[in-house]
Amino acid sequence: MTRVVVGSPGGVQAVLDIPRSLERALRNPVFADQPIRNFMERGAFSIQAGAQERAPTGVSGGAGLRGSINVAFKNNYREANVGSPLRYAAAQEFGTRPFWPPWKAPSFQRWAQLKGANAFLVARAISRRGIRPRRYMQGSYDAYTRGPMQRHLAQFKTELEAAWRKVR
């Protein structure tokens, strides 16, 4: 029996036991590619949707951080990266130490005005406390591994069995 472990190193993981009869199918890209691709797409798009739900909204609503969260696949769908290219995405996810933001910048002034706040007072608060972590990506990943991932693993196993049965 082969064990397929899905998850991040040191993080939440799920294990799928592949029967010995399917081990050859799993190692053969002709049979395994489509089930693996389907599993990775289901997982990545589920995590993306959860992150978009959890991401903080700024003055631009869904067009800012929420709208920038995307999925990129690598290594023939063996890896999926879910994230945002925006500079401030990491600060929202992990938080920051105290720092003085550029409070005189027009974009910061406009943001503060739309939020109904004084830009200097917001900058001073950030300089004292930093930005608290929002953990929207981690929360989405954790919710996926606790819920839909088991169902997706079962679908993967069923698809792999079906592909293997076609040739036998």
Q: How many CA atoms lie within 13 A of 161 on its CB side?
A: 11
Place of tokens 């720092």: 99
Mean predicted confidence (pLDDT) in 21-39: 76
CA dist list (Å): 67 to 49, 56, 107: 10, 11, 19
In tens, the pLDDT along 148-158 reads 888 888 898 88
Under a CB-based contact definition with an 8 Å cutoff, are residues 138 and 11 in contact? no
The pLDDT assigned to 52 comes to: 92
The H or E element containing residue 30 is helix 29-54
Give the pTM. 0.80
| Phi, psi dihedral angles at 5 (to 5 degrees) | -105, 125
Whether the predicted pLDDT of 42 surpasses 50 = yes
Under a CB-based contact definition with an 8 Å cutoff, are residues 24 and 158 in contact? no
Q: Which residues contact 157 (CB under 8 A, 6 or more apart)?
A: 16, 18, 22
Mean pLDDT of the chain: 82
Angle between helices 148-167 and 29-54 (to 10 degrees): 160
Angle between helices 106-115 and 119-129 (to 10 degrees): 100
DSSP state of 56: P
Whether the predicted pLDDT of 10 surpasses 70 = no
Whether the predicted pLDDT of 39 surpasses 50 = yes
Whether the predicted pLDDT of 8 surpasses 60 = no
